[in-house]
Amino acid sequence: MAIEVPENVVVTKLDELASWCRKNSLWPMPFATACCGIELMATGASKHDLARFGAEVFRFSPRQCDLMIVAGRVVMKMLPVLQRIWQQMHEPKWCISMGACASTGGVFDTYAVVQGIDRFIPVDMYVPGCPPRPEQLIQSIIDLQEMIQREGTIEGREFELASRQQTKRALVELPMYGRIPDGRTNDGRPMSQPIRNLKSEI
Amino acid sequence: MPANPATLAALTARFGPLPTSEFRGQTRVVVARDQLLEAMRLLRAELRFDLLVDVTCVDYLNYRDAANRFGLVYLLASTDTNERLTIRVYLNEPQLTVPSVIGLWKGADWLEREVFDMYGIVFDGHPDLRRILMPEEFTAYPLRKDYPLQGRGERHNFPVLTRREA
């Protein structure tokens, strides 16, 4: 039996409808720690006008956001803060790693700077540049919107994929220098163990 | 501007001849560790050096012709006489304790904490000698020359959050 559908009715899947709603109202959480934050502000301001893509409302409370934009280098004192904020954000949530420092540590290959936030929190989009132009950040948000539309589900099943649970290759392959002191992180959890101990191999 | 000869004369009169050098108009006086507090008191009270510009430190490990491990540097200035003076104290392990000058200049508080954080120099008499820049659980002194630039893996020592956990 055929069902008559009027012209002004669109038939779609619920997953796609949810993704369409989500992608067009991203609420960014600006985790701006360095000069990338200036470009992030420029992106949100009137000249580059992120409002055209439905993501202009920056909220400084993680509980009101679903897109974390990490803009700038993250030092080891800041990383527990970053993780806490990421945990406070509601599902579904996404993360953009903006700029060379957030993605890889950039030129700051020193004892205090985390060499890429993707070692410790999940990242969906990387933006190269030092700092990236606002156009690049907008492009990454457009790409993220496409990704949400393409694979999003109303129950968030896409986050359960094995590929999204994997530790980043860089973390596995990274040589560790020296011994890690025994101890606990700020919130009382045991520190992660070194993957490899380069010194003992030499 | 080199230091006033009267200042150097006052120091010499109290402590005997002190190693003094000048570089590009800046005078540097080396003081022994156990004379530091007395010399600073003299400079603060009688010679009117009312401003402690900075306290910092140099690690001379593997430095050419260096006889001492650490050189503690106090940069003093006088807003009264526009005079500037650098006081140096050489330190060697295991005697890495110097008296705090916080009783003379309140501003020494965070400066000494920074030197403690980065070099492990202990300032005796400091009311709150904690790390100021590095996390509290950090155990090394990162600006010492025997500490590797990329650290000993502390920067990778965090729990990994995946999508499943958060």
Instruction: Look up the domain containing B74 and give its range.
Output: 5-156
**B122 to chain A, closest Cα gap in Å:** 22
Cβ pair A111:B160 closer than 8 A: no
Over residues A57-72, the mean pLDDT reads 93
Give domain status of residue A111, yes or no: yes
CA angle centred on A68, ends A63 and A72, rounded to 5°: 130
User: Domain total for chain A?
Assistant: 2
**pLDDT on residue A170:** 55
Write the pLDDT tens digit of every residue in B21-64.
Answer: 999 989 999 999 999 999 999 999 999 999 999 999 999 988 88
Cβ pair B163:A83 closer than 8 A: no
Give me the DSSP letters along A144-191. Answer: HHHHHHHH--TT-GGGGSHHHHSPPHHHHHPPPPSPPPP-B-TTSPBP
Instruction: Look up the domain containing A23 and give its range.
Output: 14-166
Q: Where are the alpha helices (DSSP H) in chain B?
A: 5-15, 36-41, 108-119
Determine whether A133 is exposed, middle or buried from the number of CB atoms within 10 Å of its CB (0-12, 13-18, 19+).
Answer: middle
pLDDT above 70 coverage of chain A, percent: 81
Residue A118: pLDDT above 90? no
Cβ pair B135:A77 closer than 8 A: yes
A179 near B CB under 8 A: yes
pLDDT band at A127 (very low <50, low <70, confident <90, very high): very high
- A105 with A186, same domain: the answer is no
- A180 with A109, same domain: the answer is no
- A108 with A188, same domain: the answer is no
Residue A197: pLDDT above 80? no
Q: What is the ipTM of this complex?
A: 0.83
Write the pLDDT tens digit of every residue in B131-150.
Answer: 999 988 888 899 999 888 88
Pairing of strands B51-59, B70-77: antiparallel
CA neighbours closer than 13 Å in the CB half-sphere of residue A45: 8
Q: What pTM, to 2 d.p., does this model score?
A: 0.82
A131-135, A150-154, B86-90, B123-127 — which is least confidently predicted?
A150-154
CA distances from A1 to A4, A6, A47 (A): 10, 16, 54
A86 near B CB under 8 A: yes
Cβ pair A176:B153 closer than 8 A: yes
Write the pLDDT tens digit of every residue in A137-188.
Answer: 999 999 999 999 998 888 888 888 777 776 665 555 454 444 344 444 334 4
- A107 with A143, same domain: the answer is yes
CATH at residue B71: 3.30.460.80
User: A-chain residues within 8 Å CB-CB of B149?
Assistant: 109-111
**pLDDT on residue A200:** 40
